[in-house]
Amino acid sequence: MARLMKFKMERPGQVEVGQVVDIREGYLPNSVFYYVIEPAVAMSGNFPLGERLFAQTGTVTEITEEPRGFYVTVSFEE
């Protein structure tokens, strides 16, 4: 089953649709996790322990420009 996750990217052109990307997991207090597309291209929001991502790679499925910046959607097989 595929899981989709959005990441905020500050500048366009850093990844392309169809590209396989590596993901780094970060940890905050209170069992909160966040994820970064390496090498520090885009960052996810925060996720509680129950929504933790276990995949380390994913495929970019969509890149959109919104008023607050660029958003990258990545599909993960979990």
Residue 52 has pLDDT above 80, yes or no: yes
Per-residue pLDDT band at 44 (split at 50, 70, 90): very high
pLDDT digits (tens, 9 = 90+) for 9-20: 999 999 999 999
Q: Contact 57/21 with Cβ under 8 angstroms?
A: yes
Q: How far is CA 24 from the centre of its chain?
A: 9
Residue 1 has pLDDT above 80, yes or no: no
Q: Which pTM value belongs to this model?
A: 0.91
Do strands 42-44 and 57-66 pair parallel, antiparallel, or not at all (unpaired)? Answer: unpaired
65-75 average pLDDT score? 95
pLDDT of residue 51: 94
Q: Contact 9/64 with Cβ under 8 angstroms?
A: no
Mean model confidence pLDDT for the chain: 94
Q: How far is CA 6 from the centre of its chain?
A: 5
- The DSSP letter of residue 56 is S
